[in-house]
Structure 1
Amino acid sequence: MSSSAHSTTLSSSSQPQANPNRWRALFVLSLTQLVVVLDGTIVNIALPQAQLDLGLTDTERQWVVTAYALAFGSLLLLGGRIADYWGRRRTFMVGMIGFGAASVLGGLTQSGTELIIARGLQGAFAAMLAPAALALLTVTFTHGKERNTAFAVFGTVAGAGAAVGLVLGGVLTEFASWRWCLLVNVFFVIVGLVGALLFIAESKAEGDNRYDILGAITVTLGLGSLVYGFSLAETGWGTPQTIGFLAAGVGLLVLFVVVESKVAQPLLPLRVVVNRVRGGAFLMQAIAGSVMIGAMLYLTFHLQIVLGLSPLAAGLATLPLPIAITGVAPLATRLLASIGPRPLMIVGPIIVAAGLFYLSFITADGNYFAQVLPGMVLMGMGMALIFIPLQNVALSGIAPHEAGAASATVNAAMQIGGSLGLSIFTAIYVSTSENAAITTPGLPSLTAGYSAIFVASAIAMLVAAVIAAVFIRGAKSELMPSSGSDSVIHLG
């Protein structure tokens, strides 16, 4: 593969030459999406054993999950711009190497602090890796049925990845050690690097590109303050620290918007998010992330702590969720082509909400097959209807030179939604379980907390359905990506 750059101009009258390795590239990019998504949940199953092994406090236990999602989500916009300007394949490969190194560090850690730092580093390098992968997908599959198929595969992997992480985490924890939930990433890294070298062409934005440093600082500190403020809410919403960090987060994000409206080359061009359809898709991605990352964590706690399942059994018990997602995905892909994305994006959240409401009826002496399994199947069916069209809609109408920034926003919405959701759900859990413990101590108080989280998650998904109905409007041809754009892409 030649590394020399040449320009191909896209226009409505000339299609870009298809990459002959595009389907192999899709496999590599989908594998990347799998690893960054499943790493948000793979340690969930292992957390009880890691907590005992390293002597983690409950707060440190939560931050093992939050550190990854927070670093990932906060740095994604910067990672997307690095991919656009520096080169998407180059960024992809550097992100892969750094992610693998951080995974090894986490797998060999000897303290809770070291583990949290390693997870944060994983998130930071994933923030380079994920937007580069999605941007590469965007410029590799530019139009038509092939693009729909590619995004359907990518969306299915994104939707199932969190649940796959739970299963894989259970297997590794049971038969090896919780440490292998981190060390296993080395395999994915090697495959990804070899695949990138063989099958993926370099691409980047043209012209004189400058980094928006002030924008990067304000959005990173703003999102970090917001998530940390919500994490403090478990000790009280009215404490000065909680209010201070939440206020600082909102203020910094407002400042970020002001900065982006003034600079010539913004970190996040506001036109990417102010579009009604894309804005609605980003909001839905955030809500879906809060459920897949936040609510699923507490479902695994219920399986292990209340139902007494081993890590392997708990991981296998979550398997119906990805099976339902992958089973419904082909139908969702056909429906997307025939009726468009809007009906799927309205009905999908309603089905997920139904599954979550079902889960809210769990009891301390309940049965997995009666109280958990049906709810997970409903969740998986609904998530398939959401994830298949979601990323396609979120990137519709995006010029190739902004592919990295837009792709970063899609991923950032998922991860920030997950970290915010986890913080909010933790606060709900602590408050509800402590109140329940007054009258029904022990396992019933835990299930009361988990039930409250599932109810809150269901309400959030109903809000997502309303968002889809209000924001995802237009003809099917308008909501799906066009066949090209008047832009220039540098291909290697």
Structure 2
Amino acid sequence: MKNWPVVAILGSAQFVMVLDGTVMNVSISTVVEDLDTSVDAMQAAITFYTLTMAALMLLGAKLGDVWGRRRAFVIGSIVYALGSLTTALSPNVVVLFLGWSIVEGMGAVLVIPAIAALIADNYEGHARVAAYAIIGAASGAAVAAGPLIGGFVTTYFSWRYVFVAEVVIMAFVVLFSRRVTDRAGARPVRIDVLSVLLSAAGLVFVVYGMLQSKTWGWVIPQNPPVVNGFPIAPLGVSMTTWFVLIGAALIWAFVVRQRRLVATDRAPLVDITLFRILRLRSGLTVLLAQYAMTAGLFFMMPVYLQMTLGLDALQTGIRIFPLSISLILFSILGTRLALTWSPRRIIRIGQVLLVLASFLLLGAVDIELQSPAFGVGMFVAGAALGLLASQIGNVNMSSVGEDQSSEVGGLQGVFQNLGSSLGTALIGSVLIGTLATSFASGVATSDLPQDTQVVVAEATQGGVDIVPAASVPDLAREAGLDDAEAAELERVYATSQIEALRVSLVALIVIALLSLFFSRGIPAEVGGRPRSEIAESDEGSEVRT
């Protein structure tokens, strides 16, 4: 490929953007101990890292038009590096949340849309397709390498060094960014502030509501928030339901606002008519589901391996390694298959493999993890994600003309990070909520004396934290239980963790099946359609420009 330094620079930035989540996931138990925090707090930090990006990605794409895409890319890279440095030096979870979940996220919303648009500016024809494939491979490589990098560095050095390395990489990206051409340059685009507020608030309400479902309950209140001594559950309905409904209403108001702006000849934050393109609509939906499943898998498996089995970060990375290697291999294979197979066929094979992988993992997880099916399941999951990653980016970006590439890049960023946020929030909440229910049931049917059961029930009335199963006996003895009771409580807790993991895997299967249903609009032609075919009605009829 000619002009390879450009894709190397943009690919390096893309690698760092994706690396963070997988690195932090395998380091959960170590970070919890280092910062004296909880798995719940880490779930919130992981969720809000991607939620910040999802909520502000459309604004980031517009700022790329206003400032120029290369300038936005450079500014975003600097902000991201500052966030990484803050995270590396964080003395507590509050500073980590600020540096990682907020500042890094704000930098990423400028970088990610710019990457997609700058690829279109710097490459044409087959070289452009190859460049998008390389960017997708960089994302896949980050997902694949993250667990091993994070596991090794966390075990033998400190998880903080990963963020120091990110600062160094982003410094090189900024230093060599002049090699990147920005043909569009800065454009006088007006940004509608109300649209930004409506979209950001809507997404935050929906995702935060789902995140808190493990505590508040979905519909029937369980442990509602308390203000001035009064539990908040309007009309006897959980605040989770109200948050999701309010968020949905705000998102609908955002859509109405975009239509009104267009009707009055003002610039919308996003062109809603893009969603009439069946190809793009299907691609974005599949992208959202793909990242929801990836985030859910990368949250639940490290929790299982570290908290239930007691593995360290490196051992966790090694257990996840089959997924890592197959993701890279099948990303390459998917690019090759695209020469003879249609994107729809490749993507649907990937979706079916994800369902298969979830079933394999469902049967493999237990307290000792002796079955080889776990490694096979992780390999199959990586193969599925690799096939999806090899196709989705080009399907979406080739759905529109070059003048809308920045906007679609922003939409890709929104759906990608919204999927990650929803995956971590939803699967994490299912995992933690099921753990509480299963533990309470296990204690009630255990061999523990009745008075001990009452003590445990009172101690866990507000919910059950995810802690290492091996630490339960010490916690039990501190609460006054004898050795036999402590051992029984450890057995109940470990069994409850396994049951919660299995319920979470069933949730992944449901998401994978829904994704399969929504992939009908992915192109069935080998090589897809030309970029000049940019409009398609809801019924699938096409209008050539």
> Number of matched residues?
463
Report the equivalent of 2:64: 83
Q: Secondary structure at the match of 2:427?
A: helix
Rounded Cα–Cα distance in structure 1 between residues aligned with 2:191 and 2:57: 14
Please state how far the C-alpha of 1:483 moved relative to its aligned partner: 10
**Structure 1 residues without counterparts, runs of 5 or longer:** 1-18, 486-492
Report the equivalent of 2:389: 387
Q: Deviations for 1:193-228, whole angstroms, at most 9, x for unmatched residues?
A: 12312x211233675421122211111111111111
**1:97-246 correspondence to structure 2 within 5 Å:** 97-119=78-100, 120-143=102-125, 145-197=126-178, 199-204=179-184, 208-235=188-215, 236-238=217-219, 239=221, 240=233, 241-246=239-244
Please state how far the C-alpha of 1:20 moved relative to its aligned partner: 5.4
Rate the CA distance shift 1:94–1:207 in 2: closer, same or farther, 3 A: closer
Confirm or deny: 8 A CA contact 2:279 2:399 kept in the other structure.
Answer: no
Q: Deviations for 1:102-134, whole angstroms, at most 9, x for unmatched residues?
A: 111111111111111112211111111111112
Matched, 1:472 2:470: no
Please state how far the C-alpha of 1:75 moved relative to its aligned partner: 0.8
Rate the CA distance shift 1:480–1:152 in 2: closer, same or farther, 3 A: farther
Report the equivalent of 1:442: 493
Q: Secondary structure at the match of 1:265?
A: coil
Rounded Cα–Cα distance in structure 2 between residues aligned with 1:357 and 1:138: 40
**What TM-score do the two structures reach when normalised by structure 2?**
0.81
Report the equivalent of 1:332: 334
Confirm or deny: 8 A CA contact 1:39 1:165 kept in the other structure.
Answer: yes
Q: Secondary structure at the match of 1:279?
A: helix
Rounded Cα–Cα distance in structure 2 between residues aligned with 1:402 and 1:86: 16
**Structure 2 residues without counterparts, runs of 5 or longer:** 222-232, 234-238, 443-490, 536-545
Write the letter of the residue equivalent to 1:201: T
Please state how far the C-alpha of 1:436 moved relative to its aligned partner: 2.4
Report the equivalent of 1:458: 509
Rounded Cα–Cα distance in structure 2 between residues aligned with 1:483 and 1:153: 24
Report the equivalent of 1:16: none
Rounded Cα–Cα distance in structure 1 between residues aligned with 2:306 and 2:189: 50
Confirm or deny: 8 A CA contact 2:76 2:111 kept in the other structure.
Answer: yes
Rounded Cα–Cα distance in structure 2 between residues aligned with 1:481 and 1:315: 40
What is the alpha-carbon root mean square deviation over aligned residues? 2.1
Rounded Cα–Cα distance in structure 2 between residues aligned with 1:297 and 1:166: 11
Write the letter of the residue equivalent to 2:246: A
Q: Deviations for 1:370-423, whole angstroms, at most 9, x for unmatched residues?
A: 142101110111112111110101111323232222101112111111111211
Confirm or deny: 8 A CA contact 1:283 1:413 kept in the other structure.
Answer: yes
Please state how far the C-alpha of 1:477 moved relative to its aligned partner: 5.5
Please state how far the C-alpha of 1:471 moved relative to its aligned partner: 1.9
Please state how far the C-alpha of 1:273 moved relative to its aligned partner: 2.5
Confirm or deny: 8 A CA contact 1:105 1:118 kept in the other structure.
Answer: yes
Rate the CA distance shift 1:64–1:313 in 2: closer, same or farther, 3 A: same
Report the equivalent of 2:251: 253
Q: Secondary structure at the match of 1:204?
A: coil
Rounded Cα–Cα distance in structure 2 between residues aligned with 1:309 and 1:480: 49
Rounded Cα–Cα distance in structure 1 between residues aligned with 2:351 and 2:141: 16
Rounded Cα–Cα distance in structure 2 between residues aligned with 1:255 and 1:104: 37
Report the equivalent of 1:64: 45
Please state how far the C-alpha of 1:479 moved relative to its aligned partner: 3.7
Write the letter of the residue equivalent to 1:38: L
Higher RCO (CA 8 Å, separation ≥ 6 residues): 1
Write the letter of the residue equivalent to 1:339: W
Rate the CA distance shift 1:301–1:210 in 2: closer, same or farther, 3 A: same
Confirm or deny: 8 A CA contact 2:258 2:268 kept in the other structure.
Answer: yes
> Does 109-118 or 471-480 show the bigger shift?
471-480
Q: Secondary structure at the match of 2:176?
A: helix
Report the equivalent of 1:9: none
Confirm or deny: 8 A CA contact 1:352 1:461 kept in the other structure.
Answer: yes
Rounded Cα–Cα distance in structure 2 between residues aligned with 1:348 and 1:20: 31
Rounded Cα–Cα distance in structure 2 between residues aligned with 1:483 and 1:220: 31
Q: Secondary structure at the match of 1:324?
A: helix
Report the equivalent of 1:43: 24
Rounded Cα–Cα distance in structure 1 between residues aligned with 2:106 and 2:432: 29
Rounded Cα–Cα distance in structure 2 between residues aligned with 1:411 and 1:473: 21
Rate the CA distance shift 1:206–1:289 in 2: closer, same or farther, 3 A: same
Q: Deviations for 1:226-285, whole angstroms, at most 9, x for unmatched residues?
A: 111111111111243212211111011001111111222111111223311101110111
Confirm or deny: 8 A CA contact 2:280 2:396 kept in the other structure.
Answer: yes
Rounded Cα–Cα distance in structure 2 between residues aligned with 1:370 and 1:416: 33
**What TM-score do the two structures reach when normalised by structure 1?**
0.89
Confirm or deny: 8 A CA contact 1:41 1:65 kept in the other structure.
Answer: no
Matched, 1:297 2:299: yes
Question: Percent same amino acid at aligned positions?
Answer: 24
Please state how far the C-alpha of 1:342 moved relative to its aligned partner: 1.2
Confirm or deny: 8 A CA contact 2:342 2:528 kept in the other structure.
Answer: no
Please state how far the C-alpha of 1:364 moved relative to its aligned partner: 3.2
